[in-house]
Amino acid sequence: MSKVVEISPTTRHEGHSKLVLKVNDEGIVERGDWLSITPVRGVEKLAIGKTYEQVPKIASRVCGICPIAHTLAATEAMEASMGVEIPEDAYLLRIILQCANRLHSHALHDILALPDMYLPGTDSKINPFSPAEPVRSVAKRIQTLRMIGQTVGEIAGGEAVHPSNPRVGGMYTNITPRARTKIYDLAKQALPLAREQMEFMIAIFENYAKRDWAEMCGREVAIPKDLGFHQQGYMAVDPCYGSSSLDEHPTWDPARWIEVRPWDWYMGEEDITLEDPAYPIGGTTKAGAKAWPQMQACTGVPLYDGQPVEVGPRARLATYRNYDRKGAIGQNIAREMEYMDSVYKMIEATDALNASGKVVADVIPQGDGSFGWAANEAPRGADIHLAKVRDGKVEWFSMLVPTTWNFPTCSRALIGAPWELAEVIVRAYDPCVSCATHMIVLDEDNRLVAQKLLE
Amino acid sequence: MEFLGKYKAVYKAKAGCEDILSKAQDGGIVTAMFAYALEAGIIDGAIVAGPGKEPYKPEPMIATTVEELFAARGTKYSISPNMSLIKEATRSYGLDKVGIVGTPCQIQAVRKAQLYPIGLRDVPDKIALVLGIFCMENFPYQGLYQMVEDHCATKIDNVTKMDIGKGKFSVYTERGINAQIPLKVTHKYEQPGCHVCLDYVANLADVSTGSVGTPDGWSTVFVRSATGEATFNKAVEAGWIVAESMDGVKPGLELVTKLATEKITKNQKYLEHRKHAEHAALKPLRNPYI
C-alpha cells in the first residue's frame, strides 16, 4: 500500500518548489513529482509590444542568480530574429560574462550542497558556516571565487546582477585595457582556487557515494547505489557558451521541442498519508492535508523528441566530453569539473579581446517578424529564448529555462530512492526555480490550448 | 563659520609645477592633487570635466594618466555631469580607487550615493578622493554661449580663458582680455536649479578649493576630511602643491564668508518664497545644514 508524503517547500536552492512523493512501505519512492510553486512571472506576456532593447532587460529580471544567462539568451534571441551579426570583440565580452556567471553560480551551489555531505572519515555532516577547519577555509575560498565571478561580471557586463552592458547588436561599451588586465589578474587568482575547490568537492562527493547510509530525520537512511539515476536523455547546445538559429550548424532544433501542460503530466489530487515531524526545517506536511500537483505546478513541461531531458553540467559533459557518471553524485561531480573550464575560457577570451575594437554592429535591422531562437548554456543548463521581432517591436517571446527541462526529468530520477533523500537528488540539479515558472500554450499535437490553470 | 562647513585647515595654495599653472584657472589645485594622487597610487583614475566636442562645453571624462588630466585643466562655466561616470569608472574602466571633482551639488550627490548606493552596487567603497570646487552658480551651455557671443561679442572658438571675479565675467583671447561684463548681466542665464543651493564651498568634499579669498594665481583650499588632509599634506611634501598659511592674506576668509553668506541667504530667501508658492513643482528642498 503506497503512501503519499509531501516536502514543502524544498530548501537550499533558488525559488519555491515542493516534492509530492508516492512511497512504498519501505519508504522507497514509487512515483515522484517535483514541481515549482513559484508564482508565474509573466515576463513572456510583458515582453509583447515592447522594443527589442527592453525585452532582454525585462527577461533578466526573472531571477537574480543567472540574470547574465537570461540577458544573453534574450539578447541573442532578438538578434536571431532580426538577423544581427555582432562584432568579434562583443562576442568575446559575452563569453567572459558567461564564464563569470558560471564561476560564481557553481561556487554558490557548493554552499547549498555541502550540508548534505559528510566530512570524509567521519559521520558528521558539513556545516559550511562552521568556524572550524577545513570547512572555514573552504567557505572563504567559495567567497573569493564568487567575488571574482561577480567582479568580472561587473567589469565586462556593467553589473554583476542584471548586466547592463549587453545590447542587441553587441555590447554598449568595450572595456579599457586596464579593465582587461584586471579581469586577467582576477582569473589568474581564481585558477588555483578553482582547482582546489574542485578537488575538495569531488572528494566530498566521492565519499558520499561510498557511504552506506545518511542520517535523516534522526535515523540512518540507506543510500542506494543508484541514487538519482534516470533513463532520460541529455540536451546541451555547447560546452561553454551557446547556439542560435543564426549559426551555420545550430545545435538545438525547435521542431523537436513541444511543451505540455502540467495537467497532463503530474499526479492528480492526493491525500497526504505519511508525515515525519523530524524532517529538517519543521517536518513534512501534516497527514490529512491534500496535494494537487497537476493544479499547483507553475511550469510547463517541455519535451524534446517527446521525452523529458536533462540539461546542465552533466548534459554538457556527456554530450561533448563523453562523461558517463550517472545519478545525483555524478551530476554534482560534473558541475565541479566545469570550474576549470570556466576560468580557462575566461582567460582565453580576455587574451583574445581587443580592448579598442568595436563592439556594436554597424547595421541593426529592425526585424520582419521571423522566428529566431538562442540557447545559452546557463550554469544550470540550456536556457533557450525564442522570439519574433517585427519593426523593432517584439511580437512573441518565450523562455525555455534550464530548470523547466529538469523538473520532469528529476521527477523520474526520484524513483527508487528513499524519500528522505529526495531533496539530495533535487539539489544535485542546482535548481533555480523562479525563472522556470511558465504557462504553457501547446498540447501534444501542437495545438493552442486554453490556459486552464489561470482560469 | 557656519557657511564654510567643517574643515581641519585652510590654506592659500597653488600647484608647484609650471605645466599645471600655465593653463590652470587659478592655483591649479585640483589638477595638482589628482596628478599627485595618480602618481602616488592613491587613486587610479579621476572623473574630471574634460574638453567636449564644442568649445567650453565640458564633458565628463575619466583621466587615468597625468596627460589626460592636463587636458582637463581650467574652469568651464557650464554643466559637466561628472556623477554620470561614477559607476562606469568602476565597471568597464576597471578602477578600484576613483577620484572625482565636482561642484557642491555634485559632491552632495557623491556622498548621498555613498550613503544610499541604490543602483551603485560596489561603487561607494571605490570612491577614494573627492574634490569640491567653490560654486556660486552655473550656466547651461546655451546661456554661456550667449554671454560670450552676444554680450561679450567674442567668438567662443577664440576664447582662451573665462573667469569670474571681482564682480565681472571676463573673456580672454590670445590678444589678452577681450571683454568684461558685469555679473549682473549674467544672472538671467543662470540655471534655475542653482537658486535652491545652500552650499558655496563644497562642505562635503575631502578637499574644497576655489579662487575666492586669495590673490591671483593662488587658490583657497579647505582641507576637510582625514583622507583629504593626508593626501593634501603628502602632495605638499612631494612638491606638487605649494601651501601657505591663510593668516594675513587679503581679502582672505572674510571675502569667502561674505560670498557664502550672500549666496546662501539669497537662496534661502528663494526657498522661503517657494515654500509659499502655489505650484507643486516649487516645493521646498531639504536644508543640508541640518
Chain A residues touching B44 at Cβ < 8 A: 178
Per-residue pLDDT at B284: 58
Number of domains in chain B: 2
Kindly give, in sequence order, each residue whose CB lies less than 8 Å from that of residue B21, ignoring residues fewer than 6 positions away. Answer: B14, B15, B27, B28, B217
ipTM of the complex: 0.83
Pairing verdict, β A219-222 and A213-216: antiparallel
Tell me how far apart the alpha carbons of residues A58 and A162 are, in angstroms, rounded to a whole number: 9
Residue B285's pLDDT is 60
Domain presence at residue B216:
yes
Residue A449: the pLDDT is 47
pLDDT tens track for B113-135: 999 998 899 999 999 999 999 99
pLDDT digits (tens, 9 = 90+) for B247-288: 989 889 999 999 999 999 999 998 888 777 766 666 656 665
Strand, coil or helix: what is A182? helix
Looking at the structure, do residues B189 and B205 belong to the same domain, yes or no? no
**Pair (B130, B142) in one structural domain:** no
Whether residue B128 sits in one domain with residue B49: yes
| Nearest Cα residue in chain B from A150 | B122
Co-location of B90 and B233 in the same domain: yes
CATH number of the domain where residue B185 is located: 3.10.450.750
pLDDT (tens, 9 = 90+) of chain A, 455 residues, equals 799 999 989 999 988 899 999 999 999 999 999 998 887 778 888 999 999 999 999 999 888 888 999 999 999 999 999 999 999 999 999 999 999 999 999 999 999 999 999 999 999 999 999 998 889 999 999 999 999 999 999 999 999 899 999 999 999 999 999 999 999 999 999 999 999 999 999 999 999 999 999 999 889 999 999 999 999 999 999 999 999 999 999 999 999 999 888 888 899 999 999 999 999 888 899 999 999 988 888 888 899 999 999 999 999 999 999 999 999 999 999 999 999 999 999 999 999 999 999 999 999 999 999 999 999 999 999 999 999 999 999 999 998 889 999 999 999 999 999 999 999 999 999 998 877 766 555 455 555 444 443 33
Burial A186-223 (b: 16+ CB within 10 A, else e): bbeebbebbeebbebbbebbebbbeeeebebeeeebeb
Inter-residue contact B10 to B222 (CB < 8 Å):
yes
Looking at the predicted structure, is the pLDDT value of residue B20 above 80?
A: yes
B95 Cβ under 8 Å from any chain A Cβ: yes
**The domain boundary residue, chosen from B193, B220, B238:** B193
Rounded to whole angstroms, how far apart are CA atoms A70 and A82? Answer: 18
In a domain, B286, yes or no: no
Q: What local confidence, expressed as pLDDT, does residue A408 receive? A: 93
Q: Which of A44, A48, A139, A104 has its CA nearest to residue A339?
A: A104
pLDDT value of position B127: 96
Could you tell me if A89 lies within 8 Å of chain B, comparing CB atoms? no
- Write down the pTM of the prediction: 0.90
What is the model's pLDDT at position A454? 38
Residue B256 near residue B262 (C-beta atoms within 8 A): no
Q: Pick B93's closest partner by Cβ from A156, A165, A176.
A: A176
Q: What is the pLDDT of residue B22?
A: 85
Distance from CA of B288 to the nearest CA of A (A): 31
Look up the domain containing B54 and give its range: 7-135+200-281
Which amino acid, one-letter code, is at B188?
A: K
Task: Specify the pLDDT at position A448.
Answer: 47
Percent of chain B with pLDDT over 90: 76
Clarify whether residues B120 and B48 are in a common domain. yes
Does residue B288 lie within any of the structural domains? no
Interface of A with B in 158-177 (CB under 8 A): 158-161, 165, 173-176
Q: What is the pLDDT of residue B165?
A: 82
CB-based contact B94 A174, cutoff 8 Å: no
Q: Which of B92, B121, B122 sits opposite A179 (nearest CB)?
A: B92
Per-residue confidence (pLDDT) for residue B264, from 0 to 100 = 94
Instruction: Identify whether the C-beta of residue A157 lies closer than 8 Å to the C-beta of residue A174.
Output: no
Secondary structure class of A398 (helix, strand, coil): strand
For residue A425, what is the DSSP state?
H
| CA separation for the pair A289, A292 (Å, rounded) | 10
* Nearest-neighbour CA in chain A from B126: distance (Å): 13
Residue pairs between chains A and B whose CB atoms are closer than 8 Å:
43
Of the partner residues B44, B91, B121, the one whose CB lies closest to the CB of residue A155: B91
DSSP per residue, B32-93: HHHHHHHHHTS-SEEEEEE--SSTT--EEEEE-SHHHHHTT-S--SS---GGGGHHHHHTTT
Is the domain of B146 the same as that of B28? no
Distance CA A307, CA B275 (A): 69
Give a yes or no: residue B287 inside a domain: no
Domain range annotation of chain A: 3-454
DSSP B147: I
Residues B49 and B164 in one domain: no
Round to whole Å and give the CA distance between B40 and B253.
Answer: 31
The β-bridge partners of B102 are: B132
On whether residue B266 sits in a domain, the answer given is yes
Are residues B90 and B148 both part of a single domain? no
Cβ of A152 under 8 Å from any chain B Cβ?
no
Domain A3-454 carries which CATH code? 1.10.645.10
Q: Is A204 part of the contact surface with chain B (CB cutoff 8 Å)?
A: no
Residues B57, B128 share a domain? yes
If we measure between CA atoms, which residue out of B258, B259, B228 comes closest to residue B243? B228
Long-range contacts (CB closer than 8 Å, 24 or more residues apart) made by A60-63: A60/A162, A60/A163, A61/A162, A62/A399, A62/A401, A62/A434, A62/A435, A63/A14, A63/A15, A63/A432, A63/A434, A63/A435
A12: number of CA atoms within 13 Å, CB side? 21
| Shared domain check, B80 and B23 | yes
Contact B95 A178 (CB under 8 A): yes
Tell me, yes or no, if B121 comes closer than 8 A to chain A by beta carbon: yes
pLDDT above 90: residue B24: no
Asked if the C-beta of B154 comes within 8 angstroms of chain A's C-beta atoms, the answer is: no
Interface residue of A104, A147, A150, A155 to substitute, partner B, most B CBs within 10 Å: A155
**Would you say residue B289 lies in a domain?**
no
Q: What is the DSSP string of A34-88?
A: EEE-SPP--HHHHTTTSBTTHHHHHHHTT-SSSHHHHHHHHHHHHHHHHT----H
Give dist(CA B4, CA A398) in Å, integer: 59
> Is residue B237 included in any domain, yes or no?
yes
Name residues whose C-beta falls within 8 Å of residue A118's C-beta, 6 or more positions apart in sequence: A124, A125, A126, A204, A207, A208, A211, A214
Shared-domain flag, residues B110 and B28: yes
B109 and B206 co-located in one domain:
yes
d(CA B37, CA B44) in angstroms, rounded, equals 8
Q: How far is residue B11 CA from its own chain's centroid? A: 17
**CB-side neighbour CA atoms (13 Å) of B194:** 18
Contacts of A2 (CB under 8 A, 6+ apart): A22, A23, A24, A30
3-class DSSP state of A335: helix
